[in-house]
Structure 1
Amino acid sequence: MAAARKLKLWMQVSLDGYVAGPNGEFDWTTYERELNTFAVEQAAGMGAMLYGRKVYEGMAAYWPDPRRYPGATELDLRFSEIWKPMPKYVFSTTLCEADWNTTVVSEDVAGAVAELKGQQGGDLVLFGGSDIVSTFVRENLIDEYWLFVHPVVLGGGTPLFPSLDKRLDMELVESRVFDSAVNHLRYRIR
């Protein structure tokens, strides 16, 4: 019997633990060539991408054809070709339908994730905002935390982790510094 797929959280975070600034801004991330290359390489092996509504809508606005925007790179085009056919799941109670091989999940988040983990294929990766991430953390659905720590202190904003009833014990599996700026920390739940 094949091993269950893992669910990995892929999250950009400030040095002081925020995923968005005090006014919801996300203009502080540093994505240079080395990190972009890593992201494309990882995407090629994913089994499905999971999103909250807001992040999905941002992705769906850009990735179908990044050539429409100034500054699109060869890596953007490669990621686009991976992203378009990739199975995607949006967890939302307000979105009714979505394009680009996307399924909308509006209820029973834990049940939907359990079903996806039981299917064949590559691991599942969650790219989400704080609301959906909080739900996944509280429901203990995340197997690995792929945190990309950026060299900025925001001083406030939206924290990565919600308030929890119990602590999460983790072990560091891997760390890597990209482009001498962003530190990737990969943790798994003990």
Structure 2
Amino acid sequence: MKKVILDLATTLDGFIEGPNGEIDWCIMDDDMDFDGFLSNIDTIFYGRVSYDAWGNYQPDDNATPEEQNLWKAVHSKNKFVFSSQNREDENAVFINTDLPTKVSEIKNQEGKDIWLYGGASLIKTFIQHNLIDVYRVSVHPIALGDGKPLFEDLKERLPLKLIKTNVFKSGVVQLIYEPVK
């Protein structure tokens, strides 16, 4: 069965974006092997706002070949957008009903794992329904003091078991957890 992997960046003080949606603090080190992560997934789950911002993003002509290849790899994946809107989109399937059942159906398909891209409200919904199999949280060496928190409005504790830790040359520390069942 496929796993749903939440892979995201957070600040040391727990924010996934600044107060104005900024993510300019995110570091992409070459030793992070993001290409390796992308090669192990074939599906991306988006919320509508995140999909509208990044689901069809194209780097400009001045982007490095590495950045262009990264986005080409991202756009080669199957994309599902969880939204109250029912939109037609040639690049994604929009899902607006029965999220847990639809996620289960997708997880039971043949193939590689699933990247839960976000945004924050979709992550919160997946947490509430216990739909995340792996938490890959990359803690960046910066504190913002304000912004969108990763774990917003948790209704109960979320016990996790640390599986692996990776430390990168920039000082980013990646913590990989599985939920305690």
TM-score by length of structure 1 reads: 0.87
Q: Secondary structure at the match of 1:47?
A: strand
C-alpha distance in 2, partners of 1:188/1:94?
A: 31
Report the alpha carbon displacement of residue 58 of structure 1 after superposing the two structures with TM.
2.4
Matching residue of 1:15:
12
2:31 maps to 34
Question: Which runs of 5 or more structure 1 residues have no equivalent in the other structure?
Answer: none
Quick one: percent identity of the two aligned structures?
A: 34
Q: Which residue of 2 aligns with 1:139?
A: 129
1:79 aligned residue (70, 89, 100) = 70
User: Partner of 2:46 in structure 1?
Assistant: 51
Counterpart mapping for 1:1-190 below 5 A? 4-35=1-32, 38-63=33-58, 66=59, 68-70=60-62, 72-94=63-85, 96-100=87-91, 102-190=92-180
Give the CA deviation at 1:20: 1.6
Q: Within 1, Cα distance between the matches of 2:76 and 2:148?
A: 32
Deviations 1:40-75 (A, max 9, x none): 221112021111112222223424xx3x342x2222
**Shift of residue 143, structure 1, vs aligned partner:** 0.8
Post-superposition shift, 1:131?
A: 1.0
**Contact 1:91–1:132 (CA<8 Å) still a contact in 2?**
yes
Task: Give the secondary-structure state (helix, strand or coil) at the position aligned to 1:142.
Answer: coil
Could you tell me how far 1:156 is from its partner in structure 2? 1.8
Instruction: Tell me whether 41-50 or 23-32 shows the greater mean CA deviation.
Output: 23-32
Structure 1 residues 15 and 95 mapped into 2: Cα distance closer, same or farther (>3 Å)?
A: farther
Q: What amino acid maps onto 1:8 in structure 2?
A: I
- Matched pairs, number: 180
SS in 2 for 1:62: coil
Task: Output the CA distance in 2 between the equivalents of 1:47 and 1:162.
Answer: 28
Q: Is the 1:40–1:78 contact (alpha carbons within 8 Å) kept by the matching residues of 2?
A: no
**SS across alignment from 1:50:** strand
| C-alpha RMSD of matched pairs (Å) | 1.7
Q: Structure 2: state its 5+ residue gaps.
A: none
